[in-house]
């Protein structure tokens, strides 16, 4: 009989913990990321995202539990793990007066060599001039250099800590495209973020972490329920305001009326709200995405938490 | 006021460290005087003669002593005058740290964003450094007072205050000059440029004691004005005019630095070389050096290696050219003739060269090791270590490669030093034994490794405190050699000092026991460092 060997998951953690004391750290993380998946790791500042990533990279030692990358133990087999991983840290390292091309050659040399064509393509794609000194780079360019370093050796797994911070919108789009291509080429991506729309944009699944604990691993549909916008609508003076219709529209919450202005939050699709406004004369409509902290505060308060996990 | 408090907080470890160094250095020297001086006038006169002979050999470092047969003269010579060099280094580090390192970290930008003017910011840093200097100099003065009290001798309180004030004035002048120079150059050259200027001013003064043609220029050096005042011993005094000139230099240089800071862009230099814009480049570096472990580390430090080699070679030439002068001075001291006659037909020149040059070379190689260790601890906080460990590289490999890079760099510098010494001494008619010169030069490598081993251990244990602790280790190591025999410390304790283990290879050849001990100390440091590195967390 032929025995089928099942490939190990790209990332697997069992009760992984790092306790820094006074309730800080990461606690009993059970997580599995399968191959060829873009997994978003979402949480507010200080929730434990970077701690998880450093544990996976073997930079810090767990106080409990285990972490495996492609079946390799992240502590015991950390060298072999890193052969398979491309890493982008949350804070770009400082290379002082080295030029961009020297940084690439230095870190490429530590991996046994540089794929020059790949580097050329990546640098050109992000319009990153490698002849300039690191200390002369803007923060966006430093981030681009870190992206090139993470992707240059075509790793099987990319572990990226808030990869788009400092990038302008055009380069963010370019980065998302690169992520999709990388996934299509067979790689797995684990990226952390505190921007809900970002993970919604590029990820297949999302793990949500708060206060060092994994709250939920959500599918994209779940995210749409979480996603919330603050909306401010201004009506033409003296025209009727469809207050009742707006209040009744699906997804509309916390509505307040004040003169010719209405504020509310919208969860999920905007269609019901727009339908409620169809006969009104709207002079201004502003929609803003609240910070992730606000989303968490509003959504992960006890009743909603029960609702999500049910 | 807030800016001053912030500056004091940023520089607190410097203040604590240099205050401690000033206290220990002066106290130990004062106490040591009573251990070695004896009590009769004849014994003290003999010590005075010995100190004069020592001073003749150290003429390029320290001014000639006044009444070294008294505790005040001894401590002025060995304590305060040595501290002047130490405080100048502190001024350099502190000024360039503010002018450039804090700027690169964004600290300066955030302080300016609060509405503090640039001039006020410079003023607050100068004032904070002056307060720190005053504390450290007061500690040095207090140590002298306590040391003298332990020998039941009297002193004049006013003279101690004057000696401390002179130290503060020199420190402020050096701070102002360093601050000014670091405004003029690009950030990456600031420390080197300010260091080079201070070193040039130092040697301009000290070499003018030997080369009379330099004496017409020594008015340019702040160290000259420091030397003019030797207030501690009887017969010496505070030269008020020289003291005011030092304060004037501090004021003018600091004001010019404030003006330059006001004129230039943050992150830029006042004097900018226009760069020609070229097309963007998307290729990684083609240099093959980056591919190979150890070589890439040496290549990355290539400018530093060149600077160290050039500096060491220049100093070697200088010391060789001074050797004959020093020997002539020694031969003119009648009290020393009985001792020297033993050497005259044998190895007087190698002995003097060995004492002067190799002592300085040891300090330089300790400094070389400390600069490497400082870089290792910086790699921890600037994220480079994290990035290196994201490559398929074990932590042990990182520690070993760091040490291997240091060995390679030290070998290059030692080879340049040895070759320069050989050719320079040959040109000056001093015959050195080639095997012993080779051995002495190579001995500098394990010597540096002792400090690197200790530094590796500290960098793995507590990277943020590494440089301070290693500096203290080097200082204690130096004191151990200098004062171990005076205080009759156990032999095993004296043997822990690399300065003691280095011995006198140019005269007596290599002691293999010492070499083995040095290598064992270095290996113990590296081994413990690897063990600690495996256990610790990495990342900011």
* B471-517 pLDDT, tens digit each: 888 888 888 887 777 777 888 888 778 888 888 888 788 888 889 99
Spatial neighbors of A78 by CB under 8 A, at least 6 apart, are A57, A58, B394
Rounded Cα–Cα distance for residues A250 and A265 (Å): 11
Q: Are residues A218 and A232 part of one domain?
A: no
- Regarding whether A147 and A55 lie in a shared domain, the answer is yes
Report pLDDT for B337: 65
Task: For residue B529, tell me if it sits in a domain.
Answer: yes
Of the segments A69-78, A208-217, B264-273, which one has the largest average pLDDT value? A69-78
Q: Does a structural domain hold residue A53?
A: yes
As a whole number, mean pLDDT of residues A227-236 equals 88
Residues A139 and A260 in one domain: no
Instruction: Give the closest-approach CA distance of B118 to chain A in angstroms.
Output: 22
**Residue B60 to residue B208: CA distance in whole angstroms:** 9
Provide the chain A residues 70-99 that lie in CB contact (below 8 A) with chain B: 78-80, 82-83, 85, 87, 89, 91-99
| Beta strand ranges found along B153-238 (DSSP E) | none
The last residue of a domain, from among A222, A239, A265: A222
Does a structural domain hold residue A5?
no
Are the beta carbons of A107 and B387 separated by less than 8 Å?
yes
The predicted model gives B219-246 an average pLDDT of 93
Same domain? A195 vs A53? yes
Are A207 and A264 members of one domain? no
Residues A185 and A74 in one domain: yes
Per DSSP, the three-state class of A85 is strand
Q: Is B35 helix (H, G, I), strand (E, B) or coil?
A: helix
Structural domain includes residue A107: yes
Q: Is residue A295 part of a domain?
A: no
Residue A157 lies in a domain: yes
Count how many domains chain A has.
2
Tell me if A294 is assigned to some domain.
no
User: Residue A102 is part of which domain span?
Assistant: 11-222
Task: Identify the domain containing residue B490 by its residue range.
Answer: 310-540
pLDDT per position as a tens digit, A252-306: 988 999 989 999 988 878 899 999 999 899 999 998 876 665 666 556 554 444 4
CB contact under 8 A, A91 and B540: yes
Provide the pLDDT confidence category of residue A5 given band limits of 50, 70 and 90: low
Closest residue in B to A50 (Cα) is B539
Whether residues A175 and A282 fall in one domain: no
Please give the residue that has the higher pLDDT: either A8 or A158: A158
Q: What is the reported pLDDT for B431?
A: 83
Residue A305 included in any domain: no
Residue that is last in its domain, among A222, A257, A273: A222
**Number of independent structural domains in chain B:** 1
∠B232-B234-B240 over CA atoms, to 5°? 55
Distance (Å, rounded) from C-alpha A190 to C-alpha A41? 7
Judging contacts by C-beta atoms under 8 Å, the chain B residues touching residue A105 are: 284-285, 287, 290-291
Q: How many residues does chain B have?
A: 540
Arithmetic mean of pLDDT, B366-373: 93
Please indicate, yes or no, if residue B497 is contained in any of the structural domains: yes
Residue B283, by phi and psi: left (phi above 0), alpha (psi -120 to 50) or beta? beta
Tell me the pLDDT of chain A averaged across its residues. 88
The CATH number for A245's domain is: 3.30.70.100
**Does residue A160 form part of some domain?**
yes
Q: Which of A24-38, A223-237, B210-224, B387-401 has the lowest mean pLDDT?
A: A223-237
Q: Could you tell me if B440 and B514 are in contact, meaning their C-beta atoms sit under 8 angstroms apart?
A: no
* Residue B406 located in a structural domain: yes
Do A140 and A281 lie in one domain? The reply is no
Which helix (H) or strand (E) segment holds residue B515: the answer is helix B512-535
Q: Which residues of B touch A135 (CB under 8 A)?
A: 104, 187-188
Q: What is the pLDDT of residue B480?
A: 82
> Does B391 contact A at CB distance below 8 Å?
yes
Do A144 and A264 fall into the same domain? no
Query: pLDDT over 90 for what percent of chain A?
Result: 65
A178, A206, A222 - which closes a domain: A222
Cβ contact B386–A59 (<8 Å): yes
For residues A60 and A88, state if they share a domain: yes
Residues 6+ apart with CB under 8 A from B513: none
Whether residue B458 lies inside any domain: the answer is yes
Q: Do B282 and A130 touch (CB under 8 A)?
A: yes
- A44 and A129 co-located in one domain: yes
Residue A143 and residue A253 share a domain = no
């Amino acid at each position: 009989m032929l025995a089928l060997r099942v490939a190990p998951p790209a990332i697997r953690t069992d009760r992984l913990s790092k306790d820094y004391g006074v309730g800080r750290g990461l606690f009993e993380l059970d997580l599995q990321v399968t191959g060829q998946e873009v997994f978003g790791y979402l949480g507010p500042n200080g929730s434990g995202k970077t701690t998880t990533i450093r544990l996976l990279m073997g930079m810090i030692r767990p106080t409990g539990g285990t972490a495996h990358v492609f079946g390799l133990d992240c502590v015991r087999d950390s060298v072999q793990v890193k052969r398979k991983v491309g890493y982008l840290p949350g804070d770009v390292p400082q290379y002082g007066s080295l030029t961009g091309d020297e940084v690439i050659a230095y870190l490429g040399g530590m991996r046994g060599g540089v794929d020059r064509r790949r580097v050329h393509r990546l640098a050109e794609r992000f319009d990153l001039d490698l002849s300039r000194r690191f200390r002369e780079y803007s923060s966006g360019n430093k981030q681009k250099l870190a992206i090139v370093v993470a992707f240059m050796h075509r790793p099987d797994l990319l572990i990226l800590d808030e990869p788009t911070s400092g990038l302008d919108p055009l380069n963010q789009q370019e980065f998302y495209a690169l992520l999709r291509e990388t996934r299509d080429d067979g790689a797995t991506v684990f990226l952390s973020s505190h921007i809900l729309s970002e993970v919604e944009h590029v990820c297949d699944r999302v793990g949500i972490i708060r206060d060092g604990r994994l709250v939920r691993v959500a599918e994209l549909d779940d995210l749409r329920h979480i996603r919330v916008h603050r909306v401010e609508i201004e009506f033409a003076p003296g025209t009727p305001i469809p207050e009742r219709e707006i209040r009744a529209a699906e997804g509309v919450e916390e509505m307040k009326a004040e003169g010719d202005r209405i504020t509310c939050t919208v969860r999920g699709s905007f269609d019901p709200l727009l339908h409620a406004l169809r006969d009104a004369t709207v002079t201004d409509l502003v929609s803003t995405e609240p910070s992730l902290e606000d989303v968490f505060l509003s959504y992960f308060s006890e009743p909603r938490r029960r609702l999500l996990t049910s | 006021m807030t800016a001053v408090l912030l500056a004091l907080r940023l520089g607190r470890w410097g203040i604590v460290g240099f205050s401690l160094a000033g206290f220990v250095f002066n106290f130990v020297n004062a106490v040591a005087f009573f251990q070695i001086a004896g009590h009769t006038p004849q014994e003290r006169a003999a010590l005075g003669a010995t100190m004069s002979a020592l001073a003749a050999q150290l003429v390029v470092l320290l001014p000639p002593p006044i009444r070294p047969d008294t505790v005040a003269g001894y401590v002025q010579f060995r304590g305060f005058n040595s501290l002047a060099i130490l405080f100048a280094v502190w001024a350099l580090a502190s000024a360039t740290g503010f002018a450039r390192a804090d700027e690169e970290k964004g600290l300066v930008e955030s302080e300016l964003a609060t509405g503090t003017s640039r001039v006020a910011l410079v003023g607050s840093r100068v004032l904070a450094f002056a307060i720190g200097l005053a504390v450290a100099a007061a500690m040095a003065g207090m140590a002298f007072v306590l040391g003298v009290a332990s020998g039941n001798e009297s002193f004049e309180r006013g003279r101690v205050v004057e000696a401390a004030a002179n130290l503060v004035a020199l420190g402020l002048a050096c701070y102002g000059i360093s601050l000014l120079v670091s405004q003029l150059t690009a950030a990456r050259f600031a420390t080197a440029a300010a260091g080079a200027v201070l070193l040039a001013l130092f040697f301009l003064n000290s070499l003018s004691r030997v080369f009379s043609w330099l004496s017409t220029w020594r008015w340019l050096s702040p160290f000259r004005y420091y030397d003019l005042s030797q207030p501690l011993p009887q017969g010496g005094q505070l030269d008020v005019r020289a003291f005011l000139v030092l304060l004037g230099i501090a004021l003018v240089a600091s004001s010019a630095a404030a003006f330059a800071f006001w004129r230039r862009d943050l992150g830029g230099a006042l004097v900018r070389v226009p760069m020609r814009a070229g097309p963007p480049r998307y290729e990684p570096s083609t240099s093959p050096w980056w591919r190979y472990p150890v070589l890439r580390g040496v290549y990355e430090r290539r400018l530093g290696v060149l600077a160290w080699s050039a500096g060491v070679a220049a100093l070697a030439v200088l010391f060789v050219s001074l050797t004959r002068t020093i020997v002539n001075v020694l031969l003119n001291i009648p009290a020393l003739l009985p001792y020297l006659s033993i050497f005259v037909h044998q190895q007087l020149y190698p002995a003097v060269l060995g004492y002067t040059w190799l002592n300085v070379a040891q300090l330089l190689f300790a400094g070389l090791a400390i600069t490497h260790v400082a870089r290792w601890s910086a790699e921890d906080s600037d994220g480079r270590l994290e990035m290196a460990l994201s490559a398929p590289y074990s932590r042990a490999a990182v520690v070993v490669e760091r040490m291997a890079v240091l060995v390679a760099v030290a070998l290059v510098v030692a080879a340049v030093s040895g070759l320069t010494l050989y050719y320079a001494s040959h040109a000056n008619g001093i015959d050195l034994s080639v095997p012993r010169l080779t051995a002495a030069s190579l001995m500098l490598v394990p010597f540096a490794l002792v400090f690197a081993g200790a530094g590796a251990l500290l960098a793995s244990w507590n990277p943020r405190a590494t440089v301070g602790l290693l500096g203290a280790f080097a200082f204690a190591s130096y004191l151990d050699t200098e004062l171990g025999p005076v205080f009759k410390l156990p032999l095993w304790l004296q043997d822990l000092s690399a300065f003691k283990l280095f011995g006198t290879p140019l005269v007596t050849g290599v002691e293999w026991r010492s070499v083995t001990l040095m290598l064992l100390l270095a290996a113990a440091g590296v081994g413990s460092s690897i063990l600690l590195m495996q256990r610790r967390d990495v990342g900011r």
